[in-house]
Amino acid sequence: MQDWKVGKWGWRKGRLLAVLLSIVPSFPLSAQDYRAQALRILKTVPLIDGHNDIPDAIRQRGGLDSVDFAVSQPKLMTDIPKLRAGAVGGQFWAAYVPVTTMDSGPHPAVYALEQIDLIKRLCAKYPRDLAMAYSAADVERNFRAGKVSCLIGIEGGHAIENSLGALRMFAALGVRYITLTHWRSLSWATASTDTARRGLSAFGRDVVHEMNRLGILVDLSHVNDGTMSDALHAARAPVMFSHSSARALTHHARDVPDSILRLVPANGGIVMVNFNPGFVSEVVRVYEDSLEPRARALKATGTDSAATRDSLKAWQARAPKATLQQVADHIDYIRRVIGVDHVGLGSDFDGITQVPVGLEDVSKFPDLIAELLRRGWTEPDVQKVAGLNALRVLRAAERVAAELRREKAK
């Protein structure tokens, strides 16, 4: 049989087809195509989110018996049907400890223990869908078994109550990261909202070293720039920012400045981008910052509280919104500044009250992955941001912990 390109006329037909193809624009993939591609990728690699506050949201609703996690909960950003729709492979659940526990109520360590207990009971209650994970290997095994991994991260270093013994016991319970501070500074680490220039104290550096030895990741979300820098210099293992975005795009103290971002590649760590509208949209941040002075100015005019409330409501109704695309901008930015190996996802779902348009809950992760694909990201790069970077960091922390223990044993 004659090849259609070989014959005189066939060759011309081939040329004609080539010319036609070159002038007909290739059809761009549709949004559905990118979403389908995203879902296909998330079958090959577990999507790991750095921070989700459902444990405290459940606690505030009266505990595990008050919330059926197996059915869709319209008022929550997280439940099993949404986790499944979002193809989530692993979740760091926040054992969040309010800073007010430093003043009254249950001790911070007790509050942390109760949160860890809630996470473990939540995971045990839905064994068909959830499984505890204490290592990178656990996450991979659970993923192969079709289950969402439950990892524990303590939010707020006040949980250890200045005790390395308590820290070691949290490690024994399976805690895999500790956010060094929440909104209030500790004697050994300074919070992002503190005007003090201090960073880590000598004891703070001891905490970091002990966390490295135990294989607990040092989480630098919520700390100030001095503490970020001190911890990055003190750490032997990769650090993480479990839920922080890029300050160059949104000038929020909770985001990571370029000067710190540039220290991350040598450390091998990861910055997991937060979805909080005020952290990803500069317009929203400026708007949110303006609310308090507005309320104060209204009060100063002698307007009664009901009228003040109405005015504030009217302002809120006109509030600007952040978007999924802006979250993707932060991911893109961090990739550009420090490389694709150091960026991940840290939604902060159920800890935030507002959400970006398009990223309303955990079921929307594939839309964010689809946006990266639409922007021309390759599949291997998407896999890294979705979960491979987080797995690498977990594994590196496990390796460093084993090395440090061997050194100490000598």
Active site residue: 158, 222, 330, 342, which one?
222
348 is catalytic: yes
Q: Which residues of 369-388 are buried (b: 16+ CB within 10 A; e: fewer)?
A: bbbbbbeebeeebbbbbbbb
53 is catalytic: yes
Q: In the 8-state DSSP scheme, what is residue 182?
A: S
Helix ranges, 248-323 (H): 258-261, 264-267, 277-280, 282-300, 305-317
CA distance 6 to 28: 32
Amino acid at 246: A
What's phi and psi for 382, nearest 5 deg? -65, -40
Active site residue: 49, 79, 140, 155, which one?
155
Q: Are strands 343-345 and 217-219 parallel, antiparallel or unpaired?
A: unpaired
3-state secondary structure of 323: strand
Q: For 304-367, where are the E strands, in sequence order?
A: 343-345
Active site residue: 194, 219, 230, 348, which one?
348
CA distance 231 to 210: 12
182 is catalytic: yes
51 is catalytic: yes
371 is catalytic: no
CA distance 106 to 112: 10
Active site residue: 53, 79, 138, 140, which one?
53
330 is catalytic: no
CA distance 46 to 48: 6
CA distance 185 to 41: 41
155 is catalytic: yes
Q: Are strands 217-219 and 130-132 parallel, antiparallel or unpaired?
A: unpaired
Active site residue: 182, 252, 330, 342, which one?
182
Active site residue: 49, 51, 140, 252, which one?
51
Active site residue: 138, 158, 194, 243, which one?
243
First CA to last CA distance, the chain: 76
Active site residues per annotation: 51, 53, 155, 182, 222, 243, 348
